[in-house]
Chains A and B, each alone.
Chain A
Amino acid sequence: MVEQAYSRTRILVVLAILLVLILADHLKSPTFAFNSGQGNVETALTQRDETACAPCGAPCPSTRD
Protein backbone atom coordinates (compact mmCIF):
# COMPACT_ATOMS: atom_id res chain seq x y z
CA MET A 1 0.00 0.00 0.00
CA VAL A 2 1.33 3.41 -0.98
CA GLU A 3 1.82 5.83 1.92
CA GLN A 4 -0.56 8.80 1.63
CA ALA A 5 1.10 12.17 1.25
CA TYR A 6 -1.60 13.96 3.26
CA SER A 7 -3.96 13.77 6.22
CA ARG A 8 -7.63 13.28 5.30
CA THR A 9 -8.79 15.04 8.45
CA ARG A 10 -6.62 18.06 7.72
CA ILE A 11 -8.08 18.38 4.23
CA LEU A 12 -11.66 18.14 5.47
CA VAL A 13 -10.98 20.70 8.21
CA VAL A 14 -9.36 23.16 5.76
CA LEU A 15 -12.24 22.82 3.29
CA ALA A 16 -14.81 23.19 6.09
CA ILE A 17 -13.09 26.38 7.31
CA LEU A 18 -13.12 27.80 3.78
CA LEU A 19 -16.82 26.96 3.39
CA VAL A 20 -17.63 28.61 6.73
CA LEU A 21 -15.71 31.74 5.70
CA ILE A 22 -17.57 31.90 2.36
CA LEU A 23 -20.90 31.42 4.13
CA ALA A 24 -20.09 34.00 6.81
CA ASP A 25 -19.19 36.51 4.11
CA HIS A 26 -22.33 35.71 2.13
CA LEU A 27 -24.74 35.83 5.08
CA LYS A 28 -23.86 39.45 5.84
CA SER A 29 -23.95 40.54 2.20
CA PRO A 30 -26.55 42.70 0.42
CA THR A 31 -27.23 39.80 -1.98
CA PHE A 32 -28.28 37.53 0.90
CA ALA A 33 -30.39 40.35 2.38
CA PHE A 34 -32.06 40.81 -1.01
CA ASN A 35 -32.66 37.07 -1.39
CA SER A 36 -34.20 37.02 2.11
CA GLY A 37 -36.82 39.49 1.00
CA GLN A 38 -35.32 42.68 2.38
CA GLY A 39 -35.90 45.50 -0.05
CA ASN A 40 -33.92 48.69 -0.36
CA VAL A 41 -30.53 47.02 -0.64
CA GLU A 42 -28.13 47.52 -3.49
CA THR A 43 -26.71 44.23 -4.75
CA ALA A 44 -23.81 43.79 -7.14
CA LEU A 45 -24.47 40.59 -9.03
CA THR A 46 -22.98 42.04 -12.18
CA GLN A 47 -20.05 43.92 -10.72
CA ARG A 48 -19.04 46.13 -13.60
CA ASP A 49 -17.73 49.62 -14.02
CA GLU A 50 -17.69 50.31 -17.74
CA THR A 51 -16.01 53.68 -17.20
CA ALA A 52 -12.96 52.09 -15.52
CA CYS A 53 -9.63 52.00 -17.34
CA ALA A 54 -8.43 48.60 -16.09
CA PRO A 55 -9.94 45.27 -15.05
CA CYS A 56 -9.36 46.15 -11.38
CA GLY A 57 -11.52 49.26 -11.71
CA ALA A 58 -8.66 51.78 -11.80
CA PRO A 59 -9.43 55.13 -13.40
CA CYS A 60 -7.60 56.43 -16.49
CA PRO A 61 -4.36 58.34 -15.88
CA SER A 62 -5.79 61.20 -17.97
CA THR A 63 -8.63 61.69 -15.51
CA ARG A 64 -6.33 62.06 -12.50
CA ASP A 65 -5.36 65.51 -11.21
Chain B
Amino acid sequence: MTESAVAQPPLFGGRWQIDRFVVSTALAGVALLGGLIWLETAPFMVALFVIGTVLGIALYHGAFGFTAGWRNLVVHRKGAGMRAQLLLFGLSSLIMVPLLHSGQEGLIGAVAPVGTSLVVGSFLFGLGMQLGGGCGSGTLFTVGAGNIRMVITLVFFIIGTVVGSIHLPWWLDQPGVDPISLVTPLGVSGAILAQWLGLGLIAFWVNRTERKAHGSVERAALLWQAPSHGLVRTLLTGRWPFTWAILVLALGNALTLAIGGSPWSITFAFNVWGAKALEAVGVNMGQFEFWQWEYPAMALKDSVLTNIPSVMNFGVLLGAMLAAGLANRFNEASRNRPEPRQFYAAVIGGLLLGYGARLGFGCNIGALFSGIASASVHAWIWFACAFVGSLIGIRLRPWFRLPN
Protein backbone atom coordinates (compact mmCIF):
# COMPACT_ATOMS: atom_id res chain seq x y z
CA MET B 1 0.00 0.00 0.00
CA THR B 2 2.95 2.30 -0.65
CA GLU B 3 1.58 5.79 -1.14
CA SER B 4 3.29 8.00 -3.69
CA ALA B 5 3.65 10.58 -0.93
CA VAL B 6 5.62 8.11 1.18
CA ALA B 7 9.10 7.01 0.26
CA GLN B 8 9.35 3.55 1.75
CA PRO B 9 11.95 0.81 1.44
CA PRO B 10 10.90 -2.53 0.01
CA LEU B 11 10.03 -5.41 2.34
CA PHE B 12 13.38 -7.10 1.78
CA GLY B 13 17.06 -6.14 1.58
CA GLY B 14 19.27 -3.05 1.95
CA ARG B 15 22.21 -1.94 4.14
CA TRP B 16 21.38 -0.53 7.58
CA GLN B 17 22.06 3.20 7.77
CA ILE B 18 20.15 5.64 9.97
CA ASP B 19 19.87 9.43 9.73
CA ARG B 20 21.35 10.40 13.10
CA PHE B 21 20.35 14.05 12.86
CA VAL B 22 16.68 13.29 12.19
CA VAL B 23 16.55 10.50 14.78
CA SER B 24 18.15 12.64 17.51
CA THR B 25 15.99 15.65 16.63
CA ALA B 26 12.82 13.55 16.75
CA LEU B 27 13.85 11.96 20.06
CA ALA B 28 14.66 15.40 21.50
CA GLY B 29 11.23 16.61 20.33
CA VAL B 30 9.50 13.64 21.97
CA ALA B 31 11.41 14.21 25.23
CA LEU B 32 10.80 17.97 25.24
CA LEU B 33 7.10 17.86 24.39
CA GLY B 34 6.52 14.77 26.54
CA GLY B 35 8.17 16.56 29.49
CA LEU B 36 6.05 19.66 28.93
CA ILE B 37 2.86 17.59 28.80
CA TRP B 38 3.95 15.76 31.96
CA LEU B 39 4.65 19.00 33.82
CA GLU B 40 1.58 20.90 32.70
CA THR B 41 -1.20 18.34 32.29
CA ALA B 42 -1.52 14.80 33.62
CA PRO B 43 0.20 11.42 33.24
CA PHE B 44 -2.61 10.03 31.08
CA MET B 45 -1.92 12.75 28.49
CA VAL B 46 1.74 11.66 28.38
CA ALA B 47 0.56 8.10 27.79
CA LEU B 48 -1.63 9.28 24.89
CA PHE B 49 1.29 11.27 23.47
CA VAL B 50 3.46 8.14 23.57
CA ILE B 51 0.68 6.10 21.94
CA GLY B 52 0.49 8.76 19.21
CA THR B 53 4.25 8.44 18.69
CA VAL B 54 4.02 4.65 18.36
CA LEU B 55 1.08 5.01 15.95
CA GLY B 56 3.18 7.41 13.85
CA ILE B 57 5.99 4.84 13.71
CA ALA B 58 3.52 2.08 12.76
CA LEU B 59 1.88 4.19 10.04
CA TYR B 60 5.26 5.01 8.49
CA HIS B 61 6.97 1.65 8.84
CA GLY B 62 3.82 -0.18 7.78
CA ALA B 63 3.32 2.29 4.88
CA PHE B 64 -0.27 2.18 6.07
CA GLY B 65 -1.91 4.67 3.73
CA PHE B 66 -5.66 4.27 3.17
CA THR B 67 -5.53 6.42 0.02
CA ALA B 68 -3.05 4.30 -1.91
CA GLY B 69 -4.74 1.10 -0.74
CA TRP B 70 -7.98 2.17 -2.37
CA ARG B 71 -6.20 3.43 -5.49
CA ASN B 72 -4.17 0.24 -5.91
CA LEU B 73 -7.38 -1.75 -5.86
CA VAL B 74 -9.15 0.47 -8.39
CA VAL B 75 -6.27 1.12 -10.78
CA HIS B 76 -3.99 -1.90 -10.46
CA ARG B 77 -6.57 -4.40 -9.18
CA LYS B 78 -4.25 -5.15 -6.23
CA GLY B 79 -6.01 -5.63 -2.93
CA ALA B 80 -3.26 -6.08 -0.32
CA GLY B 81 -3.76 -2.60 1.14
CA MET B 82 -7.53 -2.89 1.24
CA ARG B 83 -7.32 -6.34 2.84
CA ALA B 84 -5.03 -4.93 5.54
CA GLN B 85 -7.58 -2.19 6.27
CA LEU B 86 -10.43 -4.73 6.47
CA LEU B 87 -8.40 -6.89 8.86
CA LEU B 88 -7.66 -3.82 10.98
CA PHE B 89 -11.37 -2.93 11.18
CA GLY B 90 -12.31 -6.52 12.04
CA LEU B 91 -9.71 -6.83 14.81
CA SER B 92 -10.55 -3.41 16.29
CA SER B 93 -14.23 -4.22 16.22
CA LEU B 94 -13.54 -7.41 18.17
CA ILE B 95 -11.55 -5.53 20.83
CA MET B 96 -13.35 -2.21 21.11
CA VAL B 97 -17.07 -2.97 20.78
CA PRO B 98 -17.06 -5.19 23.93
CA LEU B 99 -14.86 -2.63 25.73
CA LEU B 100 -17.29 0.18 24.92
CA HIS B 101 -20.22 -1.86 26.25
CA SER B 102 -18.43 -3.36 29.25
CA GLY B 103 -20.24 -1.03 31.60
CA GLN B 104 -17.09 0.94 32.37
CA GLU B 105 -18.06 4.55 32.97
CA GLY B 106 -16.81 7.41 30.84
CA LEU B 107 -16.17 5.57 27.58
CA ILE B 108 -17.73 7.18 24.50
CA GLY B 109 -17.67 5.52 21.08
CA ALA B 110 -17.14 7.25 17.73
CA VAL B 111 -20.81 7.40 16.79
CA ALA B 112 -22.29 10.22 14.73
CA PRO B 113 -25.52 11.28 13.02
CA VAL B 114 -26.52 9.76 9.71
CA GLY B 115 -27.71 12.20 7.09
CA THR B 116 -26.95 14.72 4.37
CA SER B 117 -23.92 16.12 6.17
CA LEU B 118 -22.32 12.67 6.47
CA VAL B 119 -22.98 11.68 2.85
CA VAL B 120 -21.71 14.96 1.36
CA GLY B 121 -18.77 15.21 3.75
CA SER B 122 -17.46 11.69 3.26
CA PHE B 123 -17.86 11.94 -0.53
CA LEU B 124 -15.82 15.17 -0.59
CA PHE B 125 -13.25 13.60 1.74
CA GLY B 126 -12.80 10.62 -0.58
CA LEU B 127 -12.32 12.96 -3.55
CA GLY B 128 -9.84 15.05 -1.56
CA MET B 129 -7.88 11.95 -0.49
CA GLN B 130 -6.82 11.21 -4.03
CA LEU B 131 -6.02 14.80 -4.95
CA GLY B 132 -4.36 15.71 -1.67
CA GLY B 133 -2.28 12.51 -1.69
CA GLY B 134 -3.36 11.23 1.70
CA CYS B 135 -6.17 10.92 4.21
CA GLY B 136 -6.13 12.21 7.80
CA SER B 137 -3.49 9.83 9.10
CA GLY B 138 -1.66 9.71 5.75
CA THR B 139 -1.31 13.47 5.59
CA LEU B 140 -0.06 13.63 9.15
CA PHE B 141 2.55 10.89 8.99
CA THR B 142 3.91 11.94 5.59
CA VAL B 143 4.32 15.50 6.91
CA GLY B 144 6.19 14.03 9.87
CA ALA B 145 8.39 12.15 7.40
CA GLY B 146 9.27 15.45 5.75
CA ASN B 147 7.12 15.44 2.61
CA ILE B 148 6.83 19.07 1.44
CA ARG B 149 3.81 18.58 -0.84
CA MET B 150 1.91 17.05 2.07
CA VAL B 151 2.69 20.13 4.18
CA ILE B 152 0.69 22.12 1.60
CA THR B 153 -2.11 19.55 1.83
CA LEU B 154 -2.07 19.81 5.64
CA VAL B 155 -2.25 23.62 5.64
CA PHE B 156 -5.29 23.59 3.34
CA PHE B 157 -6.72 20.61 5.24
CA ILE B 158 -6.71 22.85 8.34
CA ILE B 159 -8.31 25.74 6.42
CA GLY B 160 -10.97 23.34 5.08
CA THR B 161 -11.88 22.07 8.55
CA VAL B 162 -12.37 25.62 9.83
CA VAL B 163 -14.66 26.52 6.89
CA GLY B 164 -16.47 23.21 7.45
CA SER B 165 -16.95 24.00 11.14
CA ILE B 166 -18.63 27.29 10.24
CA HIS B 167 -20.96 25.53 7.77
CA LEU B 168 -21.64 22.35 9.81
CA PRO B 169 -24.67 23.70 11.73
CA TRP B 170 -26.41 24.44 8.38
CA TRP B 171 -25.63 20.94 7.12
CA LEU B 172 -26.95 19.43 10.36
CA ASP B 173 -30.29 21.13 9.69
CA GLN B 174 -30.64 19.18 6.43
CA PRO B 175 -32.35 15.75 6.52
CA GLY B 176 -30.68 13.33 8.93
CA VAL B 177 -31.19 11.14 11.96
CA ASP B 178 -29.45 10.63 15.29
CA PRO B 179 -26.54 8.16 15.58
CA ILE B 180 -27.37 4.50 15.04
CA SER B 181 -25.33 1.88 16.88
CA LEU B 182 -25.49 -1.69 15.62
CA VAL B 183 -25.32 -2.81 19.25
CA THR B 184 -28.82 -1.45 19.96
CA PRO B 185 -30.70 -3.91 17.73
CA LEU B 186 -28.11 -6.74 17.57
CA GLY B 187 -26.29 -6.74 20.91
CA VAL B 188 -22.49 -6.78 21.23
CA SER B 189 -21.89 -10.21 19.64
CA GLY B 190 -24.47 -9.61 16.92
CA ALA B 191 -22.94 -6.24 16.05
CA ILE B 192 -19.45 -7.75 15.78
CA LEU B 193 -20.72 -10.64 13.64
CA ALA B 194 -22.71 -8.30 11.38
CA GLN B 195 -19.63 -6.14 10.88
CA TRP B 196 -17.44 -9.16 10.16
CA LEU B 197 -19.98 -10.30 7.62
CA GLY B 198 -19.84 -6.88 5.95
CA LEU B 199 -16.03 -6.83 6.02
CA GLY B 200 -15.95 -10.43 4.73
CA LEU B 201 -18.18 -9.54 1.78
CA ILE B 202 -15.92 -6.63 0.87
CA ALA B 203 -12.85 -8.88 1.23
CA PHE B 204 -14.51 -11.43 -1.06
CA TRP B 205 -15.08 -8.74 -3.70
CA VAL B 206 -11.50 -7.43 -3.30
CA ASN B 207 -10.03 -10.94 -3.69
CA ARG B 208 -12.25 -11.72 -6.67
CA THR B 209 -11.21 -8.47 -8.36
CA GLU B 210 -7.51 -9.23 -7.81
CA ARG B 211 -7.81 -12.86 -8.87
CA LYS B 212 -9.66 -11.88 -12.03
CA ALA B 213 -6.89 -9.44 -13.01
CA HIS B 214 -3.80 -11.32 -11.84
CA GLY B 215 -4.86 -14.93 -11.46
CA SER B 216 -3.98 -15.04 -7.75
CA VAL B 217 -4.12 -13.01 -4.53
CA GLU B 218 -0.90 -11.45 -3.20
CA ARG B 219 -0.22 -12.58 0.36
CA ALA B 220 3.42 -11.51 0.93
CA ALA B 221 2.52 -8.05 2.26
CA LEU B 222 0.54 -9.64 5.08
CA LEU B 223 3.40 -11.88 6.22
CA TRP B 224 3.83 -12.14 9.96
CA GLN B 225 7.49 -13.14 10.00
CA ALA B 226 10.28 -10.58 9.72
CA PRO B 227 11.96 -10.19 6.35
CA SER B 228 15.49 -11.41 5.74
CA HIS B 229 17.40 -8.79 7.75
CA GLY B 230 16.06 -9.74 11.17
CA LEU B 231 13.32 -8.84 13.59
CA VAL B 232 14.96 -5.97 15.51
CA ARG B 233 16.26 -4.22 12.43
CA THR B 234 12.91 -4.52 10.67
CA LEU B 235 11.14 -3.27 13.78
CA LEU B 236 13.39 -0.19 13.91
CA THR B 237 13.89 0.65 10.27
CA GLY B 238 10.89 -0.91 8.49
CA ARG B 239 9.35 -1.90 6.29
CA TRP B 240 6.88 -3.73 8.50
CA PRO B 241 4.61 -6.42 7.14
CA PHE B 242 1.01 -5.19 7.27
CA THR B 243 0.26 -7.64 10.09
CA TRP B 244 2.56 -5.78 12.47
CA ALA B 245 1.03 -2.41 11.62
CA ILE B 246 -2.49 -3.84 11.98
CA LEU B 247 -1.72 -5.12 15.49
CA VAL B 248 -0.11 -1.88 16.64
CA LEU B 249 -2.86 0.31 15.16
CA ALA B 250 -5.65 -1.84 16.64
CA LEU B 251 -4.05 -1.96 20.10
CA GLY B 252 -3.20 1.74 19.89
CA ASN B 253 -6.81 2.66 19.20
CA ALA B 254 -8.07 0.39 21.99
CA LEU B 255 -5.59 1.92 24.45
CA THR B 256 -6.62 5.40 23.34
CA LEU B 257 -10.21 4.51 24.18
CA ALA B 258 -9.28 2.95 27.52
CA ILE B 259 -7.02 5.82 28.60
CA GLY B 260 -8.59 8.85 26.91
CA GLY B 261 -12.23 7.77 27.09
CA SER B 262 -12.91 7.96 23.35
CA PRO B 263 -11.36 6.33 20.26
CA TRP B 264 -8.53 7.76 18.17
CA SER B 265 -9.36 10.82 16.09
CA ILE B 266 -7.20 13.22 14.14
CA THR B 267 -9.06 15.99 12.33
CA PHE B 268 -10.73 17.71 15.28
CA ALA B 269 -7.26 18.89 16.26
CA PHE B 270 -6.84 20.50 12.82
CA ASN B 271 -10.07 22.36 13.52
CA VAL B 272 -8.76 23.62 16.84
CA TRP B 273 -5.39 24.67 15.39
CA GLY B 274 -7.06 26.60 12.56
CA ALA B 275 -9.54 28.30 14.87
CA LYS B 276 -6.79 29.25 17.32
CA ALA B 277 -4.77 30.74 14.44
CA LEU B 278 -7.76 32.85 13.38
CA GLU B 279 -8.36 33.96 16.96
CA ALA B 280 -4.69 34.98 17.18
CA VAL B 281 -5.23 37.41 14.29
CA GLY B 282 -8.35 38.86 15.85
CA VAL B 283 -11.24 36.73 14.54
CA ASN B 284 -13.85 35.99 17.20
CA MET B 285 -14.59 32.31 16.57
CA GLY B 286 -17.19 32.37 19.34
CA GLN B 287 -19.57 34.12 16.93
CA PHE B 288 -19.95 30.85 14.99
CA GLU B 289 -22.38 28.26 16.32
CA PHE B 290 -19.91 25.34 16.10
CA TRP B 291 -17.52 27.08 18.47
CA GLN B 292 -20.34 27.68 20.98
CA TRP B 293 -20.93 23.93 21.42
CA GLU B 294 -19.44 22.68 24.66
CA TYR B 295 -16.57 20.50 23.44
CA PRO B 296 -15.27 22.80 20.66
CA ALA B 297 -15.61 25.83 22.97
CA MET B 298 -13.59 24.06 25.69
CA ALA B 299 -10.92 22.98 23.23
CA LEU B 300 -10.63 26.46 21.75
CA LYS B 301 -10.36 28.14 25.13
CA ASP B 302 -7.79 25.87 26.75
CA SER B 303 -4.27 24.77 25.83
CA VAL B 304 -3.63 22.41 22.91
CA LEU B 305 -1.73 20.32 25.45
CA THR B 306 -5.05 19.46 27.09
CA ASN B 307 -6.68 18.43 23.80
CA ILE B 308 -6.29 14.68 23.22
CA PRO B 309 -6.39 14.71 19.38
CA SER B 310 -3.79 17.52 19.32
CA VAL B 311 -1.46 15.74 21.73
CA MET B 312 -1.77 12.48 19.80
CA ASN B 313 -1.18 14.27 16.49
CA PHE B 314 2.04 15.76 17.87
CA GLY B 315 3.05 12.21 18.74
CA VAL B 316 2.18 10.89 15.26
CA LEU B 317 4.23 13.66 13.61
CA LEU B 318 7.28 13.01 15.77
CA GLY B 319 6.86 9.23 15.55
CA ALA B 320 6.80 9.37 11.75
CA MET B 321 9.85 11.65 11.79
CA LEU B 322 11.69 9.19 14.02
CA ALA B 323 10.70 6.26 11.81
CA ALA B 324 11.77 8.09 8.64
CA GLY B 325 15.11 8.91 10.29
CA LEU B 326 15.60 5.28 11.33
CA ALA B 327 14.83 4.21 7.76
CA ASN B 328 17.20 6.94 6.49
CA ARG B 329 14.45 8.25 4.22
CA PHE B 330 13.42 11.53 5.82
CA ASN B 331 12.28 14.03 3.19
CA GLU B 332 13.02 11.40 0.55
CA ALA B 333 9.68 11.92 -1.21
CA SER B 334 10.44 15.64 -1.67
CA ARG B 335 13.60 15.30 -3.74
CA ASN B 336 11.62 16.31 -6.83
CA ARG B 337 9.81 19.64 -6.63
CA PRO B 338 6.05 19.35 -7.31
CA GLU B 339 4.80 20.64 -10.64
CA PRO B 340 2.33 23.56 -10.49
CA ARG B 341 -0.64 21.26 -11.14
CA GLN B 342 0.49 18.95 -8.34
CA PHE B 343 0.59 22.00 -6.11
CA TYR B 344 -3.00 22.88 -7.13
CA ALA B 345 -4.02 19.30 -6.39
CA ALA B 346 -2.57 19.60 -2.88
CA VAL B 347 -4.48 22.86 -2.33
CA ILE B 348 -7.83 21.59 -3.68
CA GLY B 349 -7.36 18.18 -2.10
CA GLY B 350 -6.50 19.69 1.27
CA LEU B 351 -9.56 21.94 1.24
CA LEU B 352 -11.84 19.02 0.28
CA LEU B 353 -10.28 16.82 2.96
CA GLY B 354 -10.82 19.43 5.64
CA TYR B 355 -14.33 20.45 4.63
CA GLY B 356 -15.31 16.81 4.10
CA ALA B 357 -13.85 15.68 7.41
CA ARG B 358 -15.84 18.27 9.33
CA LEU B 359 -19.13 17.51 7.57
CA GLY B 360 -18.47 13.74 7.66
CA PHE B 361 -17.66 13.74 11.40
CA GLY B 362 -14.04 12.78 10.94
CA CYS B 363 -11.55 11.22 8.59
CA ASN B 364 -10.52 7.67 7.78
CA ILE B 365 -9.39 7.33 11.40
CA GLY B 366 -12.04 9.16 13.44
CA ALA B 367 -15.04 8.26 11.26
CA LEU B 368 -14.07 5.03 9.47
CA PHE B 369 -11.61 3.13 11.68
CA SER B 370 -12.91 4.31 15.06
CA GLY B 371 -16.50 4.35 13.76
CA ILE B 372 -16.45 0.68 12.76
CA ALA B 373 -14.61 -0.13 15.99
CA SER B 374 -17.60 1.50 17.75
CA ALA B 375 -20.16 -0.42 15.63
CA SER B 376 -21.65 2.81 14.33
CA VAL B 377 -23.72 2.79 11.14
CA HIS B 378 -22.32 6.17 10.14
CA ALA B 379 -18.88 4.59 9.59
CA TRP B 380 -20.24 2.22 6.93
CA ILE B 381 -22.00 5.03 5.08
CA TRP B 382 -18.80 7.07 5.36
CA PHE B 383 -16.84 4.14 3.84
CA ALA B 384 -19.20 3.80 0.86
CA CYS B 385 -19.47 7.52 0.09
CA ALA B 386 -15.75 8.18 0.53
CA PHE B 387 -14.97 5.28 -1.82
CA VAL B 388 -17.25 6.77 -4.50
CA GLY B 389 -15.57 10.16 -4.05
CA SER B 390 -12.22 8.44 -4.26
CA LEU B 391 -13.16 6.85 -7.62
CA ILE B 392 -13.72 10.32 -9.07
CA GLY B 393 -10.51 11.59 -7.47
CA ILE B 394 -8.54 8.75 -9.08
CA ARG B 395 -9.92 9.74 -12.49
CA LEU B 396 -8.90 13.37 -11.88
CA ARG B 397 -5.34 12.58 -10.77
CA PRO B 398 -3.76 12.34 -14.25
CA TRP B 399 -4.96 15.88 -15.08
CA PHE B 400 -3.02 17.10 -12.03
CA ARG B 401 0.07 15.14 -13.23
CA LEU B 402 -0.29 12.77 -10.29
CA PRO B 403 0.74 9.19 -11.01
CA ASN B 404 -1.82 6.46 -10.63
Q: Which residues of B contact A25 (CB under 8 A)?
A: 276, 303-304
Q: Per-residue 0/1 for B110-135: is the Cβ within 8 Å of any A Cβ (1 yes, 0 no)? A: 11110100000000000000000000
- Interface flag for B2 (CB, 8 Å): no
Q: Which residues of B contact A55 (CB under 8 A)?
A: 110, 112, 262-263, 265, 268, 361-362, 366, 370
A56 touches B110 (CB 8 A): no
B302 touches A52 (CB 8 A): no
With A44-B298, A53-B113, A58-B168 known as contacts, the answer to whether A22 contacts B293 (CB < 8 A) is no
In angstroms, how far is the closest chain A Cβ from the Cβ of B162? 12
A64 to B261, CA, bound (A): 26
- For window 280-298 of B, CB contacts with A under 8 Å fall at 290, 293-296, 298
A58 touches B305 (CB 8 A): no
- For window 1-29 of A, CB contacts with B under 8 Å fall at 4-6, 8, 11-12, 15, 19, 22-23, 25-26, 29
Residue on A with the closest CB to B178? A60
In angstroms, how far is the closest chain A Cβ from the Cβ of B150? 14
Which of B41, B112, B301 contacts A45, CB < 8 Å?
Answer: B41
B172 touches A59 (CB 8 A): yes
From B68-76, B152-160, B238-246, B330-338, the one touching the partner chain is B330-338
Q: Which residues of B contact A19 (CB under 8 A)?
A: 32-33
A45 touches B294 (CB 8 A): no
- Interface flag for B83 (CB, 8 Å): no
Which of A12, A32, A58 contacts B293, CB < 8 Å?
Answer: A58
Size bracket of the B interface:
35 or more
A47 touches B41 (CB 8 A): no
Which of A5, A15, A32, A49 contacts B295, CB < 8 Å?
Answer: A49
Q: Which residues of B contact A51 (CB under 8 A)?
A: 294
A46 to B110, CA, bound (A): 17
A45 touches B42 (CB 8 A): yes
A58 touches B41 (CB 8 A): no
A6 to B115, CA, bound (A): 45
Q: Which residues of A contact B106 (CB under 8 A)?
A: 48
A12 to B25, CA, bound (A): 8
A35 to B106, CA, bound (A): 25
A5 touches B330 (CB 8 A): yes
B112 touches A30 (CB 8 A): no
B303 touches A58 (CB 8 A): no
A48 touches B179 (CB 8 A): no
Q: Per-residue 0/1 for B295-332: is the Cβ within 8 Å of any A Cβ (1 yes, 0 no)? A: 11011011111111000001000000000000000111
Q: Per-residue 0/1 for A31-46: is the Cβ within 8 Å of any B Cβ (1 yes, 0 no)? A: 1100100000001111
With A15-B25, A48-B295, A62-B178 known as contacts, the answer to whether A56 contacts B362 (CB < 8 A) is yes
B303 touches A54 (CB 8 A): no
In angstroms, how far is the closest chain A Cβ from the Cβ of B358? 7
B108 touches A59 (CB 8 A): no
Q: What are 16 of the A-B contact pairs (CB < 8 Å)?
A: A11-B146, A22-B36, A29-B302, A30-B302, A31-B302, A32-B40, A44-B298, A45-B45, A49-B294, A53-B113, A55-B112, A55-B265, A55-B361, A56-B362, A57-B295, A58-B112
Q: Residues of A with Cβ closer than 8 Å to B?
A: 4-6, 8, 11-12, 15, 19, 22-23, 25-26, 29-32, 35, 43-62, 64
CB-based closest 6 A-B pairs: A57-B295, A29-B303, A54-B112, A6-B331, A44-B298, A5-B331
